[in-house]
Copies of this chain bind each other. A is one copy, B any other.
Amino acid sequence: MRWARFDQNGTPSYAVVEDNTVIPVLGSPFENWERTTRRLKLDEVKLLAPVIPPTFYAAGMNYAEHVREVAEKIGQKPNFPTQPDIGYRANNALIAHGETIVIPADATDQVQYEGELVVVIGRKCKHLTRDNALSAVLGYTIGNDVSERTWQKSDRTMWRAKNTDTFKPMGPWIETELKLDDLVTRIRLNGEQLIEFPTNHMIFGVVDYLVAMTSCLTLYPGDMMWMGTEGATANMKHGDRVEVEISGIGTLSNKVVREGM
């Protein structure tokens, strides 16, 4: 099942997506809901980021090759995590599938994509176990953890390097039925595929994170966790289009502009 969030005459509303049909619901996937009788065409609605989370969590370094690549770029030794490494991102930076990534005028040319699986929490939960952790997940969407690499060297918390407005494209929707081991992530820049990796080849997986996090904190409906990216990344420049595809979910596509160009 696919959950989208869209702009209904200025009000964010949830809908079920079936093929190219958008079926608005009353309510939301995080509470009671029912289908309305309305039917819209997918290419005629404005999709929004599929959820605005109470807290926006992000895995730090969660794929082996990416840990090596980033360490090299910022001139440090690779530092492989020995446990789930839970960080934060900020809601101001979220944009939807189809919206535009805006590189600030004072950024360097080192503004890069990171294609990520996003886990969306469906219910309030604490002290999850390895056996029941996935039962707390509503579904999965796609995120692009856009990063300014020179700022990343000096930002202890990534506040600017990763949370500048428009640096967190997410969507197009939440898919509720997936087998994580079957997924493949592909990233394309202007149509050229730059990397392909098995989405679930993480250093610490979704269950590892959920168990670790809920050992001391409560997760709430709509909280989300970005799971990290693999491999090398490349610069994006004015006029580019970046796409992150995860098989079984769909493709998150965003244009890139540089402020003042």
DSSP majority for the A interface? loop
Interface contact B91-A55, CB-CB below 8 Å = yes
Chain A interface residue number, banded: 20 to 34
Mask of A202-223 contacts with B, CB within 8 angstroms, 1/0: 0000000000010011111000
Q: Does A197 contact B (CB under 8 A)?
A: no
In the bound complex, CA of A92 to CA of B218 (Å): 6
Alpha-carbon separation in the docked complex, A90 to B87 (Å): 10
A68 in the interface (beta carbon within 8 A): no
Q: At the interface, yes or no: A93 with Cβ under 8 Å from chain B?
A: yes
Number of copies: 2
- Please give the distance in Å from A67's CB to the nearest CB on chain B: 13
Selected interface stretch from A108-116, A138-146, A152-160, A184-192: A152-160
* With A93-B217, A165-B217, A165-B218 as contacts: A157 and B157 at CB distance below 8 Å: yes
Q: Are B156 and A85 in contact (CB under 8 A)?
A: yes
- Is B156 a contact of A216 with CB atoms below 8 Å? no
Complex contact A219–B159 (CB within 8 A): no
Interface set of A (CB-CB < 8 Å, partner B): 52, 54-57, 60, 85-88, 90-93, 104, 126, 156-157, 159-160, 163-165, 213, 216-220
A–B pairs, 28, beta carbons within 8 Å: A52-B54, A54-B91, A54-B92, A55-B56, A55-B90, A55-B91, A55-B92, A60-B156, A60-B157, A85-B156, A85-B157, A86-B160, A87-B157, A87-B159, A88-B88, A88-B90, A88-B157, A88-B159, A90-B217, A93-B217, A126-B165, A159-B213, A159-B217, A160-B217, A163-B217, A164-B216, A165-B216, A165-B217
Those 3 A-B pairs whose CB atoms lie nearest each other, nearest first:
A88-B88, A86-B159, A164-B216
